[in-house]
Amino acid sequence: MEIENKRIECVKQPKYPMPEYDPWTGDKNPLLENRDYKSHKIIKQDMKFEGLTLEELYSLRSRLDGMIDQYEDGFIYICNVRSYGSNWVQNLTNDKTVQDLCYRYSGDEGIVDIYTTNPTLSVDNYGEVNYIVSVEDYKKWEEYQRQSDLIQRIEKEWENLDEWISRKGTAVRDMFSGSYRPHTPYYSKDQLAQVKIGFDQLVIDWVDPVSICIGCDGEDEDN
């Protein structure tokens, strides 16, 4: 069976793009009323899949997947993924692709921490879901956290080394426990002091992310 009305038609798309018609029911999308429009190409065709070959269905699925991945709902989704010792960031543009990513990394394969400008995001997620006012606020907060973690890590390294020296002097290895002398921190104590001075002088002019857990990992917003 052939797909009818396969020609691509240029129509108007909302400021925050969304389908003019529901692709499964064919009903008019009620959210399009009273919205600003801009030119955008979308595909309008009758959704009749019966009789298509496997190759045609696979091609159609790939095409739809691409359209879903590129769909913008007007919000920002910064997804920090941790999986098997690797860390990376995926910047997504709609909540459906965010949910797909959360399903892919739902604990066993990894964890996704989400930072979004969507205050009502509802996803099932093993990791964190946080609301941010803007990307600029998020980046300032992220840099603050990075410096704070660095200072704490270097302080701990110096604490371990000083404790070793006070108990075992210049020994490289403890003959009883088999443990080795802690390495010398990359930052000297003077350099660490300078880093702490700069950190203390940072101007807190951003809004911290706020945890939202509507629909995340079976929790509700009261928990």
Note the pLDDT tens digit of each residue in 115-129: 999 999 999 999 999
Backbone angles phi and psi of 17, in degrees to 5: -50, 135
* Angle in degrees, CA 94, 95, 96, rounded to 5: 95
pLDDT score for 102: 96
Neighbours of 153 (CB within 10 A): 13
- Give the per-residue pLDDT at 211: 95
Calculate mean pLDDT across residues 189-205: 95
| Per-residue pLDDT, 18 | 52
- As a whole number, the mean pLDDT across the chain is 82
Averaged pLDDT, 56-72: 92
Q: 51: Cβ–Cβ under 8 A, 6 or more apart, which residues?
A: 1
Average pLDDT, stretch 68-80? 96
- Domains of the chain, by residue range, sit at 9-70, 77-133+211-218, 135-206
pLDDT tens track for 143-196: 999 999 999 999 999 999 999 999 999 899 988 888 999 999 999 999 999 999
Angle between helical axes of 54-70 and 95-104 (0-180°, round to 10): 110
Rounded percentage of the chain residues whose pLDDT exceeds 70:
74
Q: Which amino acid is at 75?
A: F
What pLDDT sits at residue 5? Answer: 40
pLDDT of amino acid 217: 52
d(C-alpha 26, C-alpha 5), whole Å: 14
- Let me know: does 111 contact 204? Beta carbons within 8 Å: no
